[in-house]
Amino acid sequence: MTSDLDLLRQFARENSQDAFAEIVRRHLDLVYSAARRQVRSPQLAEDVAQTVFADLARGAGKLKPDTILTAWLYAVTRRTAIDAIRKESRRQLREQIAVEMNNMNATSADWTQIEPLLDDAMAALDETDRSAVLLRYFGNKTLREVGETLGASEDAAQKRVSRAVERLREFFSKRNVTIGAGGLAVLISTNAVQSAPVALAKVVAAIAIAKGAAAGGSTLTLAKGALKIMSWTKANTAIVASIVVILAAGTTTVAVREIKEHQGYQWRVQADDLSVVLRKAPPMVRILPTKFSKPPKEFQSGVEMPIDVNGGINIKRIGFDTSVAGMIFDAYDFNYGATRAILPQLPQERYDFVVSLPKGSSEGLAQEIKRKFGFVARRETIETNVLFLVVTRPNAQGLKPSTEGSNRSGRSGAHGGGGIGYGDGFYSFHNVTLSDFAGYCEGEWQIPVIDPTGVTNRFDIDFTWRRKTEESDKNAFKQAMLDQLGLEFVPTNAPVEMLVVKRAKN
């Protein structure tokens, strides 16, 4: 059977529509299913699928020789789906179609719990683990085929797949979805990829070729015919989009009126439990210059702290002595710091803020930031300089299996000494993963640090470093990490999800 990459090369060289149509036939079900899980709309999922394959057509001649097309398509589908739903009132859209989701016939009760979380769980895996799961359970490949694709033995592929499924199981377990690894693998294999609409393959291939290739007369004719087929789908999508805009406008009008009525509510108080203050807060969004020289008890570090008062459905937030960057990260649900953000010159003043809307608190905060400061943001995957954290000596003295048990997610410990460039430092944490430690290093080094090892075991990590001069501090840190932990940084380039903040257009 001709490989995916050979078909793409044939398409790139000869503009072979048959070759590209075969690529679409092989992978459309996976792309459509992944898109539908995330956008929750069959029509919108079809649009996402068209965009993904159009991107593939445009870049067919640029993919690297070692590209795993299944993984590439899955990653692009996720990014495209996220872009499709990161619009005004995206929460209203999800809630609107939640009724449809509840009425759908699921294969089992477990799948109804797993399906909404599956793509977030897959995104939490490292690239190799994700590729292994995609090949094994989304693509129904044998372990031997998985190993051949990943450049590993069948035994190594089995271990890789088993470890990845265990990481997925842990992801679901932390979200109160309990299922065994074996049952999870069966559910994913049975339900993750569903059949796309019968006519969609021909339409997607035609549209993608028309958009992504240097189209000749025959291609344009084919595209026009395909556009006629798609006219009703586009009309339906436009109607849905119009309804969402109308609903969003209505919600905004109500929210603005309610906010104006409750601007006098006293939310900036020294309370023992700020979650109580937030629960009682009427619908409002406020950003004010901070009045605290020292934040309330729950904010001794001066860092904003979102408080979940609605069970994770709509997170209301309150924060004191907060930077504009911190508020932007909150508004766009961005869990990384400035090392993974592209920021313009932001105001340096500190602020207090509260957002307590019945729906769409994140969107409400984002709109207020835009109104007050003129900034908007979006997530983009950008190739950038990163550090890979690799294990060179597994039995190093400072890297010990956790004494608190691998099933516990809590962690305890401390780090100090000011970190890189400020003085002697130490790091001592118990029951942490290598990914946790990579996050600490990222904060110290101010560059994305990625854990590609796939190791999910928890460790007790203790090490210290001593600098002789400020210039040599990073070298001292690296050497101590290597000597005491058996860990090393490998500089490379990799795609990283970044939050890009820009001035809003007038």
pLDDT digit string (tens) for 438-497? 888 887 788 899 887 777 788 888 888 776 555 557 788 888 888 898 888 888 887 888
**d(C-alpha 14, C-alpha 7), whole Å:** 10
- At residue 406 the predicted structure's pLDDT band, cuts being 50, 70 and 90, is very low
Q: What is the dihedral of CA 5, 11, 17, 23, to 10 degrees?
A: 10
pLDDT averaged over every residue in the chain: 74
147-156, 169-178, 395-404, 414-423: the lowest-pLDDT one: 414-423
| 175: pLDDT strictly greater than 50 | yes
343 or 98: whose pLDDT is higher? 343
Specify the pLDDT at position 294: 67
Q: How confident is the model at residue 108, as a pLDDT? A: 41
| Helix then strand then coil, % of the chain, to nearest 5 | 55, 15, 30
234: Cα separation from own chain's centroid: 28
Q: What percent of the chain has pLDDT over 90?
A: 12
User: 200 vs 429, which has greater pLDDT?
Assistant: 429
Q: Is 321 exposed, middle or buried (0-12, 13-18, 19+ CB in 10 A)?
A: buried
Q: Which among 491, 488, 490, 486 is positioned nearest to 462, based on CA atoms? A: 486
Strand ranges inside 254-293, DSSP E = 285-289
Q: What is the pLDDT of residue 502?
A: 93
> Computed over its alpha carbons, how large is the radius of gyration of the chain?
25
Task: Please spell the DSSP secondary structure of 182-235, one letter per residue.
Answer: HHHHHHHHHHSS-PPPTTHHHHHHHHHHHHHS---HHHHHHHHHHHHHHHHHHH
Cα end-to-end span (Å), the chain: 54
Alpha-helical regions (H) of 379-433: none
The sign of the dihedral angle between the CA atoms of 205, 211, 216, 220 is positive
Inform me whether the pLDDT recorded for 24 exceeds 90: yes
**pLDDT for residue 184:** 83
**pLDDT score for 424:** 65
* Residue 451 · residue 126 · CB < 8 Å: yes
Distance CA 74, CA 121 (A): 13
Between 362 and 55, name the one with better pLDDT.
55
Give residue 103's pLDDT.
36
pLDDT above 90 for 22: yes
Q: Whose CA is closest to 162, among 139, 180, 174?
A: 180
The enclosing H or E element of 155 equals helix 154-173
Taking only the tens place, the pLDDT of each residue in 109-119 is 467 888 888 88
pLDDT score, position 30: 92
Q: How far apart are CA 13 and CA 61, in angstroms?
A: 8
Using the predicted structure, report yes or no on whether residue 361 has a pLDDT greater than 90.
no
Q: What pLDDT was estimated at residue 241?
A: 31
Q: Is 411 exposed, middle or buried (0-12, 13-18, 19+ CB in 10 A)?
A: middle
Instruction: Indicate the pairing of strand 487-503 with strand 341-342.
Output: parallel
How confident is the model at residue 408, as a pLDDT? 41
Q: What is the pLDDT of residues 211-264, one digit of tens each?
A: 654 444 343 333 334 444 344 334 333 333 332 333 333 333 333 444 344 445
Q: For residue range 255-314, what is the model confidence (pLDDT) as tens digits?
A: 344 434 444 578 888 776 777 777 778 888 889 998 877 666 555 433 334 444 444 445
What number is the average pLDDT over the span 96-109?
A: 38
How much is the pLDDT for 2? 87
Mean pLDDT within 118-131: 89
* Span 327-340, average pLDDT: 84
Q: Tokens 């439990």 label which residue?
A: 273
Q: What is the pLDDT of residue 242?
A: 31
Taking alpha carbons only, the member of 30, 108, 33, 111 closest to residue 73 is 30
Mean pLDDT calculated for residue range 327-332: 88
Comparing 376 with 411, which gets the higher pLDDT?
376
Backbone region of residue 312 per phi and psi (left: phi > 0; alpha: psi in -120 to 50; beta: other values): left
Q: Is 379 left (phi over 0), alpha (psi -120 to 50) or beta?
A: beta
Q: Are 187 and 108 in contact (CB under 8 A)?
A: yes
pLDDT at 284: 86
pLDDT at 199: 65
More confident residue, 505 or 215: 505
Nearest-angstrom CA–CA distance, 213 and 414: 55
Looking at the predicted structure, is the pLDDT value of residue 411 above 60?
A: no
pLDDT at 377: 93
30-84 pLDDT tens trace? 999 998 888 878 888 888 899 999 999 988 888 888 889 999 999 999 888 888 8
